[in-house]
Chain A
Amino acid sequence: MDPRLVTAIEVVVGVPAALVAYIWLTERIVTLLPAKARNRVRPWLWLGPALVFLGFFLIYPTIRTILRSFQSRNPRNPEWVGLDNYQWFFTNEGARSALVNNVLWVVLLTVFTVGLGLLIAILVDRVRYESWAKSIIFLPLAISMVAAGVIWKYMYDFRPPGEQQTGTLNAAIGTVGLGPVGWLQSPKLHVTTFALIAIMVWMWTGFAMVIISAAVKGIDPELLEAARLDGAGEWQVFRRVTFPLLGPTLAVVSTTMVITSLKTFDIVYTLTNGNYDTEVIANLMIKEMFTIGDFGRASAVAVVLLLAIIPVMAFNIRQFRAQESVR
């Protein structure tokens, strides 16, 4: 048998077995304790494995990364260099344009996915073929980002003027006598950045739509009816009843999209690798780390990204708690 198959079976059977054994064993030990202590100890023992994993795979690497960001590039004997790596980040032209682009990503991706998601969720709520429409719009999310990048590379393909345009977009605008446009090679006015954001909008609108649609279904129809009886038009019902009730959901979806756009990497890496003024922070980090091999700078970029995401995360969790407490 292929040794990889053996390993796979070992993992699939072994890991649950080990966990069951762990629970069983700790339960045996807990029963030895006095009754009072049992309830205090038990949750910690049950949480134990998860905490150990979190600590080992999340907390420890985070602390290491933060420490590493104050050290020099040498992988063998790093020296302490203070804030040099951060100074590099904030004075480097590439990093500055990455920051600008990330702001574009955050604003545009969030506005378009949430806006379109909301629009579609409201519109399809009233039609018979709702589930079909939703499935089709949700579908792109199931594609891996790299595959989406490759698909859109064909969509945006450029051929010299006069040749047959094989790119879908250039062929389309060619029929009305325009173009061809080098969608993926135009730094002017951030055209290429917009082209990349469009791909992510295509992928993530379905996600926003599904969650918002669920919230729309959760609105008590009596409220809407009451509003209509009071003489409110459809627009007013949406504006004064539906929209405020969707508020918490929209906030959660928006923050998720903000985090997604801050983490953007795959699409940029596969399509432009930061050329044509499309650099983003995550791609910069990967480049410093794996292409250039500067662990210190890569760690500093990672820390900046982490600091940018923390407030959004905190907001997200607070929003989530507020929503839970309403229920």
Chain B
Amino acid sequence: MSPWIRRLAPVAVVALVATGCSSTAEDDGTIKGKTVTVIGTWGGDEQEAFLEMVKPWEEQTGAKVKYTGTRDINTVLTTGVASGVLPDLAGLPGPGQMADYAKAGALVPLDDVLDIATYNSETAPALVNLGKTDGKVYGVFIKAAVKGLIWYNPKLHDYGANPPKTWSELLTQAAANQGAAKATWCLGIESGAASGWAATDWIEDIVLRTAGPEVYTQWYQGKIKWSDPAIKNAFQLYLDDVVGKTYGGAQTAVSTNFGNAGDPLFANPPGCQFLHQASFITGFSEFKNHTAGTDYNFFPFPDIDEKYAGAVEGAGDLFGMFNDTPAARSLMRYLVTAQAQDIWVKKGGALSANKNATSYPDDISKRSAQIIGDAKIFVFDASDSMPTAMNDAFWKGMVALTSGSDSIDKVLADLDSAQKDAYAA
């Protein structure tokens, strides 16, 4: 050993002991100057909202958040799990991938990271369950959304006082109040590499309300076939009552981006009466240039079969922890608190999984949040819960069906064979 290495050795030992200590310390004071790397899918307004949300935590602890936004989170995490190079915290594409990563041993269970009793009491139970794999919590919802809201233009006809309660009521009211509108629905399912997802939401909403939550669950778990009459029925309803009554026809539906799909609502004369989309649509295109309540409003997706009244579909952004560091633990604990969640919901466009976050900026988001709270039956986005290969085939199938290039039977047969393959792994 050369003399200078010998002199350094004790220093190195001290340093090792010090890091050893800090990794077990629970006190936030010791994480000063540390950095937590975070990867998510948020960009633009959403990224700003997230950074604003973590700012109080940074000020309080002296630690820093290094956030990277990517549209290719699947690629980053798939290669990361294989190579071991992963961020401390990351947004997860969905419960399906979360379970994959948890089983691969890449995700850290959060049961002793979070104050689990408080977390359970503050969070909608359906969302708590969706973050679990093998009985342990691996993911938390940083934000939530209600799927399947029906948006309309109150200047054309105000459904506020007497919204349709059932599907047939919706169709008769729509026919009666058609006015100058060129069609009943606006539909846009283009979304780059993810084209078709907006149509999968349609099918999910219909399956949930025609076949009920049990069939819905069996369906995304791969336990019933796509060609099953219960599922086929939903596809048929979608073709007849939605695609058949769409502004511009099938060609327009497949070539219009989901974000712009609602623009004809605001045109003069309006292209359509309704747009079916999740609560987050208020952050897109023409919705941003118009006023909530006076220019646009929504009513919840009506019931189709009375038996399953009050069923609601939701979605959200899951978050998981890949590296167990004190700073990452501290940030994770902070993110689920009502205090942190309030910051994001105040900016609009997002709902919180935390019931105590109530600073919604307008009536529309307040009502959306209430729908999650009041739901008798709450289910998660089915396509996002399927294995990735199935989800991908579902998107593709919806594009082929909506465009009219494939028949229902062809699409369902393809999905059946994709199902055999996707759930085997």
B-chain residues with CB within 8 Å of residue A161 when the two chains form the complex: 248
Minimal beta-carbon separation of A291 from chain B (angstroms)? 6
Minimal beta-carbon separation of B409 from chain A (angstroms)? 15
Minimal beta-carbon separation of A98 from chain B (angstroms)? 13
Minimal beta-carbon separation of B404 from chain A (angstroms)? 10
A interface majority secondary structure: loop
Asked whether B104 lies within 8 Å of A75 as measured between CB atoms, the reply is yes
Asked whether B425 lies within 8 Å of A294 as measured between CB atoms, the reply is yes
Q: Which of B12-20, B305-313, B392-400 contacts A (4 or more CB under 8 A)?
A: B392-400
By the criterion of a CB under 8 Å from any partner CB, how many residues of chain A are at the interface?
Answer: 32
Given A160-B247, A182-B251, residue A273 in contact with residue B388 (CB < 8 A): no
- Tell whether A290 is near chain B: CB-to-CB under 8 Å: yes
Minimal beta-carbon separation of B84 from chain A (angstroms)? 11
Minimal beta-carbon separation of A73 from chain B (angstroms)? 6
- Tell whether B163 is near chain A: CB-to-CB under 8 Å: no
What mask results when residues 163 to 197 of chain B are scored 1 for a CB within 8 Å of chain A, else 0?
Answer: 00000000000000000000000000000110110
- Tell whether A126 is near chain B: CB-to-CB under 8 Å: no
Query: Within the complex, which residue of A93, A188, A291 is in contact with B388, where a contact is CB–CB below 8 Å?
Result: A291
A185 to B249, CA, bound (A): 13
Q: Which residues of A in the span 142-191 have a Cβ within 8 Å of any Cβ on B? A: 157-161, 163, 182, 184-185, 187-188
- Tell whether B289 is near chain A: CB-to-CB under 8 Å: no
B interface majority secondary structure: helix
- Tell whether B295 is near chain A: CB-to-CB under 8 Å: no
A256 to B231, CA, bound (A): 48
Minimal beta-carbon separation of A169 from chain B (angstroms)? 13
Given A75-B81, A269-B193, A273-B192, residue A291 in contact with residue B392 (CB < 8 A): yes
Asked whether A160 lies within 8 Å of B403 as measured between CB atoms, the reply is no
Asked whether B254 lies within 8 Å of A182 as measured between CB atoms, the reply is yes
Query: Within the complex, which residue of B78, B248, B389 is in contact with A160, where a contact is CB–CB below 8 Å?
Result: B248
- Tell whether B414 is near chain A: CB-to-CB under 8 Å: yes
Asked whether A160 lies within 8 Å of B252 as measured between CB atoms, the reply is yes
A-chain residues with CB within 8 Å of residue B405 when the two chains form the complex: 187-188, 276-277
24 residue pairs of the A-B complex, CB under 8 angstroms, read A73-B425, A75-B82, A76-B105, A159-B248, A160-B247, A160-B251, A163-B248, A182-B254, A182-B255, A184-B255, A185-B403, A187-B405, A270-B192, A273-B192, A273-B193, A274-B396, A275-B195, A276-B403, A290-B72, A290-B74, A290-B78, A291-B74, A292-B392, A294-B425
Binding site for A on B (CB under 8 A): 72, 74-75, 78-79, 81-82, 100, 104-105, 192-193, 195-196, 247-249, 251-252, 254-255, 271, 388-389, 392, 396, 399-400, 403, 405, 414, 421, 425
